[in-house]
Structure 1
Amino acid sequence: MVKNRRFEDVEKGPGLGIRHVQILILFCGMTVTYALRVNYSVAIVAMTDEKEAREGFEKFDWNEQTKSLILSSFFWGYIFTQLPGGHLAQRLGAKMFLFFGIFICSLLTILTPWCASVGGWKLICGLRLIQGLCQGVLFPCTHALLSKWSPTEERGVLNTLCYSGCQFGTVAMLAVSGMIATSPLGWPGIFYVSGAIGILWSIVWYIFGASNPAECRLISPEERKFIEDSLGHSDDTPKHYPAPWKKILSSPPFYSLLIVHCCHIWGFWTLLTEIPSYMNKILGMNIKSNALLSALPYAVMWLLSYVFCFTADGLLRKKVLTLAVSRRIFNTIGLGLPALALIGMGYVTKETTSLAITLLVVAVGLNGAIYLGYQVNHIDLAPNHAGTLMGMTNGLANIMGLIAPLAVGFIVTEENNPDQWRIVFFISGGVYLIGNFVWCIFGSTQVQPWNAPKHIPHQKVRRESAFIEAMEAHG
C-alpha cells in the first residue's frame, strides 16, 4: 500500500534525464518572466528622475500616483487569465499557451520605449495590461507541466528548482538594470535586453519543450515509463478529472489557502515594486547602488529557498516533524518573521541605512520558506486539481498586486516623507501576520475527499498523491 511506503523504500528512477532538461528550461522561463515583470521597478526611476541614468534620453514628469498606476496595471490583465489558462492547459496541454504568453510579452517589452514616447503613461498602462494577460497563464501552466513531468518521489525538489527561477529573475533584473540604465543604451536598454532574452527563451521552449513525456520525442522509453508509473498513469486512467467546483467553494481549507495567498502577494508585490523608489527617495541611493541593493534581498531569498527545501526534507525523513507541523513552521518563518522586520523598517532613517538593508534582506529573504508552507498546499489538498486551485488562488490573490501599489500611491503623497512610508510597512507587516495566523489555524495538509470522483478506482488516484501521503505516513 502506498500509504505505508517510506522515503528510503521509494523506487529510484533514471538519473539525470529529459525531465531535468524540462525543469531547467522552465527555471529559465521563470527567470525571464520575472525579469519582464520587475524591469519597470528600476526603469521607472531612470525614466522620471533628472539626476539619474544618462543624458539624451527622454524623461517623463510622472508623480508617485502615476507611477503606482503604471506598476499596478500589469495585474489588471494578470488576474483574468489565471483560471482559464490553468483549465485549458490541463485539458489541451500547456506548451503552446506558455510559448505564446512569454513570446508576446517579450515582444511588447521591446516596444515599451516607443510606446512611452508616443502615448505616454496611458499607452504604457495599456501595454502592461496586455503583458499581464500574457503572463497570467504562467503559474497555472507551470503547475500543469510539473504535474506531468515530476515523479512523485522528486516533486518537492523539482518544484523548488523550477520556481526558484522567480527569485533568480528578480535578482538578475534588479542587479543589471541599473547598470544598463547608466550605459550607452540608457533606460530603453532595460526593455530591449529583457525582451530579447524572452524571445530567445520562447524559441528554445518551442523546440525542446513538451506538455508531457508522451509528446516528447527526446525522452527514453525507460524514463517515460518511470515518470508515468510514478504518477499512476495507465491506458484507462482518465486524462482529466472534472473540477468539483461546488465542493471546492465550500471547503474551509481552500479559503484559508486563498486568504494566506492574498496576504502574501500584498506584501511581496508592495516590496518588489516600491523598494527602488524607497531606496532612492528615503535612503538617498543613486540608481546603480539602488538596483544592486534592491536585488540583494531576492538573492538571499533565492538561496534560502534551497536551504529551506532540503532542511524540511531532512526533518521529514528523520521523523522530527509531521508534514502538518513542518508546513506551519516554514510558513511562519516565511511570513511571521518578515512581518516583524517590516514593522522595524518603519523606524529606519537615512542615518541607519545599514539597518534598513538588513531588515529588507530579512523581510524578503525569509519569504523563501513559503515554498514549504502554503505555496505547495494546493498539491496537499488536491493533487488532481492543483493547477485549477493555483489558478483560482493566484488569480484572486494577484488582485492584491493591483491594489497594493495603488495603496502606496494613495498613502505616499510626499515621496521624501518617512512617516508615510512607515504606514506602508506597518500595513504590509500586519497583512503578513493575519494571513499566517488564518492559515496556521484553519489550513490542512490532508488530501480532500473531493480530490477525485467516487467512481474512479481509489488505487489510480492514490499514487498521484503518493509523495504527500508518504510524508504523512513517515511523520
Structure 2
Amino acid sequence: WLIKELSIQKIIFCLQCHIIMSHDTEECCQKVIGNKRYLLAILACFGLLIPLGMRCEIGIAIIKLTELHDMVVPAGNNNISEFKVIQVREVAWTNTKVSLIEASFYIGYTLFSIPGGFLSTIFPANKVFGFAVFTSAFFNFAIPLLVIYQCGFVSVFVLRIFQGMSEGCLYPSVHSFWRYWAPKQERSKLVTISFFGMALGPIIGYPISGILTKRYDWPANFYFWGTAAMSWAVIWLAVSRKCPSQDRFISETEKTYIEQNTSQMAITASQVPWISILTSVPVWAIIIANIGRNWTYQFSFSGLPSFLRKKFNDSSINLGFHMSIPYIVMAILTPSCGIVADCMIKRKFSVVFVRKFFNSVGFGIAGLMFLFLGFIPYLWLATTTLSIGLGSFGIGISGFGVNHLDIADIYAGVLMGISNGIGTLAGILAPIVAMEITNKFSVNDGWLIFFIISGIIHLITVTFYAIFASGENQSWAVHTEPEGIKDSEKKPLPNDSQ
C-alpha cells in the first residue's frame, strides 16, 4: 500500500521540484506526489529510524573500547631490542564509568523531553524535529574524536548528555507536527507510519554497526550515522512545512481536507494550561502507560543482550540475530495496527474503545510474556517469547501512543514531552534494578525475579490505562476554531481523491 501511495520515483521527483521551484513544477509535483501527508509520514519514519539506529552504536563501541588487546612494548631493561606483549584496553573505563556513559544519553533525554514538547508547541514543529536530528548528528561526529584524542571520560559523558537532550525533542516534535497535518480519521495511520522508524532503527542499526565495526573499526559507526542524520535533516527541512497553508507543493483539495479536519490554531507560551494538564486523569493514564512501555523498551537496548549472553552463553553474532527478531515483529505490527485502528474508528467504534483495546492487547501480551521469560531454559524459546512480547509493542502504539492527539491535539507535543520524559525515567531505572537484583542472586534467580517484576509493572499500567483513558478532546484543550471553519463544514475527502 505504501509503495503504491508513494514510490521512490515520486519522492525523488518531488525533491527535484522543490529545488527547481517554478510554478509549472508546483502543479506537476502536486499531480505526481498525490497526498503530501504520506510523503511527510515516510520522511518522518526515516527521521526516527536514523536516531534509533544511531543509539545502537554506543554499545558496540564500548565493547571494542573496553576489550583487552595485545600491545607490544619495550621489555624495560637496558636492551632496547627486547620487547614484551601486554594486554591493554583502549580506554581505562571501569564498569561504573561504562554504565554512566550508557545512562548519560538518557539523562539528557529525560531532562529535555518536557522542554522539547514546549518548544515544538510554540515554534514550528517541523523545524524543531529537523534541528534536533541535525544537532544529535553533530554530537555524534564529536564523540569518537574525544575518545581518539583522549579528552577523558568526563568530556564523553557530558557530550552524551547533550546528545540526549537534542533527541529529547524527537517524539514531542513529531506529535506537534501531526496535530497540523493528520486528519482525525487518519491519526493512527500517519503516527504509526512515523513510529515505524522507531522499530526499524534497531533492526538496521545493530547489523550495520556490527559490520562497520568489524570492517573499519568502531568510529566508522559514528561517522556513518552522523552523515545519514545530517543528510536527512537537510532534506526534511527543505520538504516539510509547519502546516498545509505554508506548503506550496500540496493540492488545494488535500489542503482543504486537512484544514477542515484538524485544528490549525497557533499556540503561544502563555496559553499552555500546565496545571490543567498535570491534574488531568486521562493525561496521567497516558503517562502511566508510557512508564510501562519504557521500562522494558529502553531496557531492551542494554539489558536484554546481557541477559541472553549470561543465561544462554551464546556468541555475540547469534545474540545479535536473536535480538533483531522481536524488532522485526514490532516493525510489521506498528503501521499495520495503525491502519486497522483507523478503520475501526471509521466504522463507528468509539475512539476511547479503540485506544483501550489496542493498548490492552499490545502491552497486556507483553506483560504476560515477560512473566514467563525468566522460566525459559532454551534460547530459541526465549527468542520466541521476546518476539511475541516486544513485538506486541507495535499493537500498543495504536493505543496510548496516538492518544495525545485525541485528548489535546493542540498540546500534543507538550503531552508527549511530559509522558515520554517521565516514562524514560523508568527506562533508566530498569537496568539499575536488574543489575542490583542479579548481583544479589544467582543468574537464573536474579533474572527470574526481574522479569516477574517487569510483567507485573506492565499489567498494572495496562489496567490503569484501561480504566482512566479518554478519547475525547479535554475541556482545557478546546479553543475557538479559526473563522470560516465550523464543525458542520468538516467533511471527509471525496472518494476520487482518497
Aligned residues of 1:345 and 1:359 also touching (Cα < 8 A): yes
User: Are 1:144 and 2:176 counterparts?
Assistant: yes
1:294-443 superposed matches below 5 A: 294-319=323-348, 321-349=349-377, 352-413=378-439, 417-443=443-469
Residue type at the aligned position of 2:181: W
Q: Is the 8 A contact 1:263 1:435 kept in 2?
A: yes
- Offset of 1:238 from its aligned partner? 5.4
Q: Which has the larger displacement, 22-31 or 395-404?
A: 395-404
Superposed CA RMSD in Å reads: 3.0
For residue 121 of structure 2, what is the amino acid of its counterpart?
Q
After TM superposition, give the deviation of residue 43 of structure 1 in Å. Answer: 3.4
In structure 1, the residue matched to 2:116 is: 85
Separation in 2, partners of 1:437, 1:465? 35
1:394 partner amino acid: N
1:244 lines up with 2:244 in the alignment? no
Report if the CA contact (8 A) 1:39-1:190 is conserved: yes
SS, match of residue 231 in structure 1: coil
Q: CA deviation at 1:333?
A: 1.9
Task: Tell me if the contact between 2:37 and 2:182 (Cα under 8 Å) persists in the aligned partners.
Answer: yes
In the TM superposition, residue 317 of structure 1 has moved relative to its aligned partner by: 4.2
Distance 1:408 1:124, change over 3 A: farther
Task: Please tell me the residue identity of whatever aligns with 1:167.
Answer: A
Moved more, 291-300 or 127-136: 291-300
Q: Structure 1's 365 and 59: CA in aligned 2 closer, same or farther, altered over 3 A?
A: farther
Alignment CA distance shift 1:65-1:404 (3 Å)? farther
* Residue in structure 2 matched with residue 268 of structure 1 by the alignment: 297
Please give the TM-score of this superposition, normalised by the length of structure 1: 0.84
Q: What is the rounded CA distance, in whole Å, between the counterparts of 1:309 and 1:229 in structure 2? A: 22
Distance 2:409 2:442 in 1: 48
Larger RCO, structures 1/2 (Cα 8 Å, 6+ apart): 1
Answer whether contact 1:178 1:292 (CA < 8 A) is retained.
no
Q: 1:278 to 1:466 in 2, by over 3 A?
A: farther
Residues 219-239 of structure 1 deviation map (CA, whole Å, 9 limit, x = unaligned): 344433332233255xxx555
- The Cα of 1:416 is off from its aligned counterpart by 8.5
The change in CA–CA distance for 1:154 and 1:446 in structure 2 (over 3 A counts) is: closer
Q: Does the Cα contact within 8 Å between 1:273 and 1:405 map onto a contact in 2?
A: yes
Deviation at 1:175, TM superposition (A): 2.8
Residue 61 of structure 2 corresponds to 43
Which of 162, 165, 168 does residue 197 from structure 2 map onto?
Answer: 165
What is the Cα deviation at residue 263 of structure 1?
Answer: 2.0
Alpha-carbon distance in structure 1 between the residues aligned to 2:222 and 2:181: 32
Q: Distance in 1 between matches of 2:433 and 2:95?
A: 11
**C-alpha distance in 1, partners of 2:477/2:484?**
13
Q: CA deviation at 1:423?
A: 2.8
Matches within 5 A, 1:278-293: 278-293=307-322
Aligned to 1:470: none
In structure 1, C-alpha distance between the alignment counterparts of 2:39 and 2:343, rounded to whole Å: 25
Residues 188 and 339, structure 2, Cα contact 8 Å, conserved in 1? no
User: In structure 2, what is the Cα distance between the partners aligned to 1:196 and 1:457?
Assistant: 41
Equivalent residue for 1:10? none
**TM-aligned CA deviation for residue 301 of structure 1:** 0.3
Structure 1, unaligned runs of 5 or more? 1-12, 468-475
Whether 1:127 and 2:182 are equivalent positions in the alignment is no
2:250 aligned residue (199, 214, 219): 219
Report the AA paired with residue 302 of structure 1: A
CA distance 1:331–1:149, shift in 2 (3 Å) = same
Check whether the contact 1:139–1:390 (CA below 8 A) recurs between aligned residues. Answer: yes
Q: Which amino acid aligns with 1:396?
A: I
CA distance in structure 2 between the partners assigned to 1:213 and 1:249 by the alignment? 31
Counterpart AA for 2:235: V
Aligned with 2:271: secondary structure? coil
1:271-302 C-alpha deviation (Å, 9 max, x unpaired): 22222222333322322222232121111101
Task: Give the counterpart of 2:186 among 148, 154, 157.
Answer: 154
State the TM-score, normalized to the length of structure 2: 0.80
**2:55 aligns to what SS in structure 1?**
helix
2:304 alignment partner AA: I
The CA deviation string for residues 92-128 of structure 1, in whole angstroms up to 9 with x for no partner, is: 2123322322112112222323333424544332221
Contact 1:341 1:359 in 2 (8 A): yes
Does residue 90 of structure 2 align to residue 72 of structure 1? Answer: no
| Paired AA for residue 387 in structure 1 | G
Q: Are 1:196 and 2:224 matched, yes or no?
A: no
Residue 473 of structure 1 is matched in structure 2 by none
